[in-house]
Structure 1
Amino acid sequence: MRKLLQLCSSLLTVSFTINTVFAAPFLVRFPQGGPSQVIADDFPDPAFVKPGLLWYAFGSNAYGRRIQVAKSLDFKHWDVLDTDALASLAPWETEVDHWAPDVIERDDGRLVMYYSGEAKAFIRHHCVGAAISEGRDPAGPYHPLEQPFACHLDKGGAIDPAGFLDQDKSRWVVYKVDGNSVGNGGDCNNAIHPLVATPIYLQKVEGDGVTKVGEPIAILDRDETAGPLVEAPSLILSPEGVYFLFYSTHCYTSPKYDVRYATSRSITGPYVKAKESLIKTGDFGLTSPGGATVAGDGKRILFHANCPAGRCMYASDLDLQGETARIV
């Protein structure tokens, strides 16, 4: 029986590699003990989408690609694709620093990629861009809109966007105002007083995912426990009707970098911060876990943590109970 199971597993791996289409995904449960390292290369700030049978993950620039792409049938075994999802650049951005992508599927089947790019108008500072898929392939190519989605360059810029579809079908985007980029120095440029605000903004958008409705709303900001910043927001709604806003604190180069969350009964807040980190240095032997994205049903999470290659991608199951989240 064991040999038969091993043979079936091998055939499944070969079939997936040559892109055979399956009638249903083969579900693999994680072993007891928390996260698994699923990409051993530098794949920072992972986000993911599952418009069909396959999961697609997207990571910040590395290995000559602006936006990295990986795919998986079971959320545990990932293949990094030899492609660059962002096929071209917008007029406002430079070639460097394409960070923290996030992809959503629109009602019309096309996909929108949100990402951070360096602004030509303020070098070393960033705007949030939006790119539309050429077709319906989640791997792309994506082509950016000519104008950035959000900049706030007077406040330091904007980074770390993530899309969210609410239960009433309204669409939103959360992102960080990059205030620490114009801070007074120290850890992540914002450890010397007076410290600068790094708020997470919530922006409503129309069904196309890119046309803004009204003004953005600040829903969270740093405090003394967060060090120089909050960043990397990921917003979901639990089956119990609780909005969970996951985010990271401290500088990504620090062992204090972590994943935390705050909860609310209203999408616009107020959000109450949990007393404990969801995952931090030392948990499961990890160092500086952060940049997380959580599945819309609250059952899965991807994040990065330090590794010999840089920041490798980790996956885990997640459990939500009331206003509490935990890695399982």
Structure 2
Amino acid sequence: MFRADFPDPFILEHEGQYLAYATNTAGSNVQMASSTDLTSWRSLWNEREPNRLHDAMPVLPSWAKPGFTWAPEVLRTPAGFVLYFTARHATSGLQCIGAATSANPRGPFTSQASAPLVCQDALGGTIDASPFRAPDGQLYLYFKNDGNHPAFNKPTEIFAQRLSPDGLGLSGEPVSLIRNDKPWEGRVVEAPTMVEQDGAYVLFFSAHDYAWHDTQRVSSYAVGYATCEGPLGPCTDDANNPFLASASTSCLSGPGHQTVFHAGDRQLFAFHSWAATSACRPAKLGRFLHIAQLSWKDGVPQLTALGQP
């Protein structure tokens, strides 16, 4: 566990280190942390201003308003690295998705775009971009319409769309894969992560209200998955969802916004959950990073603690 406010984590292996990216905090649009062993993590700090966190994207594109930069994910390409992020569209006030590039995974990532890459204006905006490279090399981008925006009150859906080889352009039309149509999902499905496993496609996602309210024993936020016939679906929710949920016995509260990555031959599953007091109440310290080992049995994903068989 990384005991720092580090919500919506994404992890990239690079040159023997693991680089983690997370939602904005303390004046940093895209905060970062690093580890060599996946157990001990340290925040990256600004080399010129040691009291400031390092910012992987210190300057936002012209369309974006500071203070609302969420859920960064990074794609490695032959030309370098592409950072996908959610930010507040200054004109519409909606959350929308942008893309920025850098030769270095630590940044600075920059974008000269005058408009978002994806912004579903009629559906409440767009958040939680997640890239995926299929075994044939085709790139896809997954994202969620922000229909739970109070001004829209629409269903939330997870969409997929083809990406260009450089990761900066979209082609074809977005395809809806799942929507919030199960009781455990509440009004929200979000945070998509597509995985190919032995020829099968599995879409992990988070659902329900991410918050931990003082009136709740634990948060209702949880992780589920759907099996898909291909990167563009169709997809079917697993009947046993949620896959990972809060547990008052261990005081795991609000696990979600997962990502899947590799460390050598191991497949790992990172997510955040709320910091808790010893009495299992909100500690008001934000959301901490957790990492578990992901394995599969008869096509069904399973989580175990790091280091366990």
TM-score range relative to shorter protein: 0.7 to 0.9
For residues 78 and 276 of structure 1, what CA distance do their matches in structure 2 show? 31
- TM-superposed CA distance for 1:80, in Å, is 1.0
Q: Which has the higher contact order (CA 8 A, sep 6+)?
A: 1
Q: What's the counterpart of residue 111 of structure 1?
A: 81
Does structure 1 retain, via aligned residues, the 8 Å contact 2:4–2:288?
A: yes
Does structure 2 retain, via aligned residues, the 8 Å contact 1:234–1:247?
A: yes
Equivalent pairs, count: 276
Deviations along 1:99-158, whole A, 9 cap, x unmatched? 0000010023x00000000011222x210010101x2x2111100241311001221000
Q: What's the counterpart of residue 130 of structure 1?
A: 99
| Residue 90 of structure 2 is aligned to residue 120 of structure 1 | yes
Q: What's the counterpart of residue 151 of structure 1?
A: 119
What amino acid sits opposite 2:180 in the alignment?
Answer: R
For residues 180 and 293 of structure 2, what CA distance do their matches in structure 1 show? 27
Does structure 2 retain, via aligned residues, the 8 Å contact 1:205–1:212?
A: yes
Uncovered stretches (5+) of structure 1, i.e. residues with no partner: 1-36, 185-189, 191-195
For residues 182 and 158 of structure 2, what CA distance do their matches in structure 1 show? 16
The two structures have a TM-score, normalised by structure 2, of 0.85
Q: What's the counterpart of residue 141 of structure 1?
A: 108
Aligned-pair RMSD on alpha carbons?
1.6
Q: What's the counterpart of residue 34 of structure 1?
A: none
What amino acid sits opposite 2:192 in the alignment?
Answer: P
| Residue 169 of structure 2 is aligned to residue 162 of structure 1 | no
Deviations along 1:57-93, whole A, 9 cap, x unmatched? 1000012211111111122221110110012111111
| Residue 39 of structure 2 is aligned to residue 76 of structure 1 | yes
The two structures have a TM-score, normalised by structure 1, of 0.81
- TM-superposed CA distance for 1:247, in Å, is 0.6
Uncovered stretches (5+) of structure 2, i.e. residues with no partner: 46-53, 213-218, 276-282, 305-309
Pairing 1:226-265 to 2, within 5 Å after superposition: 226-238=185-197, 240-254=198-212, 255-265=219-229
Deviations along 1:14-44, whole A, 9 cap, x unmatched? xxxxxxxxxxxxxxxxxxxxxxx1x111100
State the identity %. 30
C-alpha spacing 1:326/1:183, structure 2 compared with 1 (3 Å): farther
C-alpha spacing 1:113/1:107, structure 2 compared with 1 (3 Å): same
Greater Rg over alpha carbons, structure: 1
What amino acid sits opposite 1:159 in the alignment?
Answer: I
| Residue 70 of structure 2 is aligned to residue 94 of structure 1 | no
Does structure 1 retain, via aligned residues, the 8 Å contact 2:28–2:55?
A: yes
Does structure 2 retain, via aligned residues, the 8 Å contact 1:43–1:313?
A: yes
Pairing 1:26-37 to 2, within 5 Å after superposition: 37=1
- TM-superposed CA distance for 1:323, in Å, is 2.9
Does structure 2 retain, via aligned residues, the 8 Å contact 1:114–1:128?
A: yes
For residues 186 and 56 of structure 2, what CA distance do their matches in structure 1 show? 33
For residues 183 and 321 of structure 1, what CA distance do their matches in structure 2 show? 43
Q: Secondary structure at the match of 2:244?
A: coil
What amino acid sits opposite 1:160 in the alignment?
Answer: D
Pairing 1:152-301 to 2, within 5 Å after superposition: 152-182=120-150, 196-225=154-183, 226-238=185-197, 240-254=198-212, 255-274=219-238, 275-282=240-247, 284-295=250-261, 299-301=267-269
Q: Secondary structure at the match of 2:148?
A: helix
Q: Please, which moves more after superposition, 208-217 or 164-173?
A: 208-217
Runs (4 or more) in structure 1 with deviation over 3 Å come to none
What amino acid sits opposite 1:63 in the alignment?
Answer: A
